[in-house]
Amino acid sequence: MSTAPDSLPSSPPDVELDGVTRRSTIKWMALAWTGFAAATAAGLTATVRFLFPNVLFEPPTRFKAGDPSSYALGVDERWKEKFGVWIVRDTNSIYALVAVCVHLGCTPNWLQAQNKFKCPCHGSGYYRSGINFEGPTPRPLERAAISISPDDGQIFIEKARKFLYEKGQWTDPAAFIKTT
Ligand code: FES
């Protein structure tokens, strides 16, 4: 003979105290904890963003560019991608051209077959010297400071120090290395 009760005990009736039931209290507490957790998460996110802000990492503006003897006559593009500079060797000097079109800032291409720099954005053209000769660009490319490092004889470029043709600065001794 079975002794199991006919029905399961029902849950205790919700108690109301001053118009507030136990169920509504639990509901409000859950809501409060959810709000607290969301606020804490937002605060943590803000703290992490403060500690690790969105910083644009630019390449260094000063760098050693190797031995002068490693540069043949003409335009050398080995540093264009990393530092935005061409090293150009002519018959009696070496200079550094900044690889930024002075029209609106695009990066020109060196066209070996045509012996010129050509900007892909609006068609400005520059001679190997950096002097402009076609397109909308208002002036020549800029040259960067170049010198021989006294400690190891390597070429040393300071890209932040610019020399402008239109201001007569290309004859500054810091704007080129004399090779002959
Ligand atoms: S940015 Fe080079 S031609 Fe306009």
Q: Where are the domains of the chain?
A: 16-57, 62-178
Quick count: other Cβ atoms within 10 Å of Cβ 21? 13
How remote is the C-alpha of 131 from its chain's centroid? Answer: 28
Question: Ligand 1: does its nearest atom lie under 6 Å from the Cβ of 125?
Answer: no
Single-letter residue type at 46: A
Nearest Cα residue to atom 3 of ligand 1: 122
What is the mean pLDDT of the segment spanning 108-128?
A: 98
pTM of the model: 0.71
For the stretch 49-85, pLDDT in tens is 787 766 666 778 999 999 999 999 999 999 999 999 9
Higher per-residue confidence, 22 vs 34: 34
Domain formed by 62-178, architecture: 3-layer Sandwich (2.102)
- What gap in Å lies between CA 37 and CA 71, rounded to an integer? 62
| Residue 19: band (very low, low, confident or very high) from pLDDT cuts 50, 70, 90 | low
Verify whether ligand 1 is closer than 6 Å to residue 132 (CB atom): no
- Asked whether the CA dihedral 21, 24, 29, 32 is positive or negative, the reply is negative
- Rounded distance between C-alpha atoms, residue 91 and residue 8, angstroms: 103
How many other β-carbons are positioned within 10 Å of the β-carbon of residue 134? 13
* Backbone φ, ψ for residue 163 (5° rounding): -130, 125
Cα(115) to ligand 1 centroid in Å equals 18
Contact of 103 with 135, CB cutoff 8 Å: yes
20 lines ligand 1 (CB under 6 A): no
Whole-number pLDDT of residue 1: 44
What is the C-alpha to C-alpha distance for residues 116 and 130, in angstroms, rounded to an integer?
9
In the predicted model, is pLDDT for residue 140 greater than 80? Answer: yes
Question: Residue 180: is its pLDDT beyond 90?
Answer: no
pLDDT at 152: 96
Ligand 1 mutation target, pool 98, 101, 133, most atoms within 8 A of CB: 101
Q: What sign does the CA torsion over 79, 94, 129, 146 have?
A: positive
113 Cα to the center of ligand 1, angstroms: 21
